[in-house]
Chains A and B, each alone.
Chain A
């Protein structure tokens, strides 16, 4: 119902203010293109199409006014992960090319919208696998050009920050955000919706990567189910004893806010490789539970330390590993003990998705930014404003 009211407002010409345009966009304006079309009214309803192809999920979503998710379509590549034992950039990029059109169409169809209704396109253009990012950006700039709507490139990690904003509009500022996935383990101080600072990051493997590699070592990965290593360990741990093995808690006692998971992974592997070589059965559930406990301990302790250092009373957790049930449980318990409110997005917004990209894009467009049609990809871009 809200939508109907909102859409009827959309084509109106009242109080049209122009967006400040970035330099690259101005180049196009100077040549006469887009002159009459890249203006959007600040007061009006804005429907943003988000596109995300930075790793192995092909995703598109429609988000209204940066807060209402009308559709959130994600195609995972578990069949390919299973076949190759991990993400192969070339294989993932090929799959993105096959799927991207269908996924965009599905995002529109399932929301009952067409491209006529879309006011802007946001796409992950920074941080990820270069060949994969390129497919999403090529699609996004084609839509922007064909439909004469603004285009905005988003840093993938900034997208994750907005997963929390989408699920918890009341998320207070400032707060500390832990972004933890197969590609990142990062603590951010989020001052407001446009200012954030990195407090710490992983020095080697991301936490999700450690989950995947340990699962792969234990022979669990993708063997009989369509899930990644993180979820396999999460499920197996429920039947295991998390105190069965005392694995190291890397950098738990260090004064900084950085992480390291490579050593923990190696500790697990070294402890059991002799048994594996002899073909002896392993207490898989106990290993999984103990390993998971070590990772969770470090993630929660460091995040809480960051909250204490920055004197904030709210933390948010986002990224694929935020779907881990033990992590969510320990975060809630520790938060309650320490009087820190913990915000956890629903599972559909934890893993890579395009709704978060659309929400992040909306915020930047509202601030008058846009990327222009020469938008390129930056696989190793630092997180910045």
Chain B
């Protein structure tokens, strides 16, 4: 089955295509502040480069985040509405899982790390491979890199866009042997993970698909009393 993979969580439009476990295309287009304008064009050009049209796609994979909140809303909305409009099955994929998947082949566990906005905090998830399948160990993490270091109990590979700098901090804080694997959220990784799920007959309800924010909005809850305007 040909699966289209999208990920717009990292200020890029990552679009990939796979046929079962074979990558057909994997492209990343810059989208600095706006993942919206070119997203459909980019999908169309990736399909075109593989000699395909949307009608040839058997399923859709969507990177759910975490990452840019605006970015993941665009990707998830496009993914769910494309699935709804074409009647194709859709599978949401955690962007952290897709990042970890790009480092597949290493024997250690993989800690996928994504920056929270422009600050020093990170979103993270710890993954390991068993029998060719990728599994997350424990919950997602949101917080400081130092806090993440305290959670790690064994040597691992840090995967992400600033892997080397994070690995340095974590190695210093934890005293463990930490390797770095530089990787960006990619469309093909999302497509491959979605293809595996779809091949098993699992898919998500397109209309119910929601981004993985991992962080509440900072809005304050309103106190119903007299309040200054």
Q: Is the CB of B229 within 8 A of A142?
A: no
Q: Report the Cα distance A83→B77, complex, angstroms.
A: 25
- Whose C-beta in chain A lies nearest to the C-beta of B213? A94
CA distance A373 to B45 in the complex (A): 13
Q: Are A101 and B81 in contact (CB under 8 A)?
A: yes
Contacts of A98 in B (CB 8 A): 208, 210
* Closest Cβ neighbor of A137 among chain B residues: B36
Instruction: Evaluate contact between A83 and B36: CB separation under 8 angstroms.
Output: no
Chain A 152-186: CB-based contact to B (< 8 A → 1; otherwise 0): 00000000000000000000000000000000000
**Which residues of chain B in 179-229 are interfacial with respect to chain A, using CB atoms and an 8 Å cutoff?**
206-211, 213, 217-229
- In this assembly, does A145 line the interface, its C-beta being within 8 Å of a C-beta of chain B? yes
Using CB atoms, name the residue of chain A closest to B86.
A146
Q: Given A97-B77, A134-B36, A135-B73, do A374 and B41 touch, yes or no (CB 8 Å)?
A: yes
Partner of A142, one of B69, B85, B217, B228: B85
Nearest B residue to A90 via CB reads B217
- Contact partner, A373, options B40, B86, B209, B221, Cβ 8 Å: B40
B34 CB contact (under 8 Å) in A33, A104, A144, A376: A376
Q: Which of A97, A137, A222 contacts B210 (CB 8 A)?
A: A97
Q: How many residues of A contact B (CB 8 A)?
A: 53
Chain B, interface size: which category? 35 or more
Query: In angstroms, how far is the closest chain A Cβ from the Cβ of B204?
Result: 11
Q: Smallest Cβ distance from A114 to chain B, in angstroms?
A: 10
Inter-chain contact B219/A138, CB cutoff 8 Å: no
Indicate the member of A84, A142, A144, A216 with the most B CB atoms within 10 Å.
A142
Chain A positions 212 through 255: 1 when the CB is less than 8 Å from some CB of chain B, otherwise 0? 01101111011100000000000000000000000000000000
* Cβ-defined contact, B219 with A90, below 8 A: yes
Contact B84 A104 (CB under 8 A): yes
- Which residues on B sit within 8 Å (CB–CB) of A265? 229
Q: Most B CB atoms within 10 A — which of A86, A135, A222?
A: A135
Contact, CB under 8 Å: B70 / A134: yes
Q: Are A100 and B220 in contact (CB under 8 A)?
A: no
Task: Please state if B206 and A217 are interface contacts (CB–CB under 8 Å).
Answer: no
Task: Annotate A90-129 by CB proximity to B: 1 below 8 A, 0 otherwise.
Answer: 1101101110111011000000000100000000000000
A221 shortest CB reach to chain B, Å? 8
Query: Given A216-B227, A219-B226, are A139 and B81 neighbors across the interface (CB < 8 Å)?
Result: yes
Q: Find out whether the CB atom of B220 lies under 8 angstroms from the CB atom of A217.
A: no
Q: Which of A147, A219, A375, A376 contacts B227 (CB 8 A)?
A: A219
B76 interface residue per 8 A CB criterion? yes
Q: Does A347 contact B (CB under 8 A)?
A: no
- A223 and B224 form a contact (CB under 8 A): yes
Interface string of A74-98 (1 = CB under 8 A from B): 0000000011111010110110111
B25 on the interface (CB 8 Å rule)?
no
Of B36, B85, B86, which contacts A138 at CB under 8 A?
A: B36
- The answer to whether A83 and B226 touch (CB under 8 A), given A101-B206, A139-B81, A145-B44, is no
Q: Does B24 contact A (CB under 8 A)?
A: no
The 5 closest A-B pairs by CB, nearest first: A85-B222, A146-B85, A101-B207, A142-B81, A88-B219
A sample of 8 cross-chain residue pairs with beta-carbon separation below 8 angstroms, ordered by A number, consists of: A94-B211, A101-B206, A138-B36, A138-B77, A142-B40, A143-B85, A214-B229, A217-B228
Question: Which positions in B face A, CB cutoff 8 Å?
Answer: 34, 36-41, 43-44, 48, 54, 69-70, 73-74, 76-78, 80-82, 84-86, 206-211, 213, 217-229
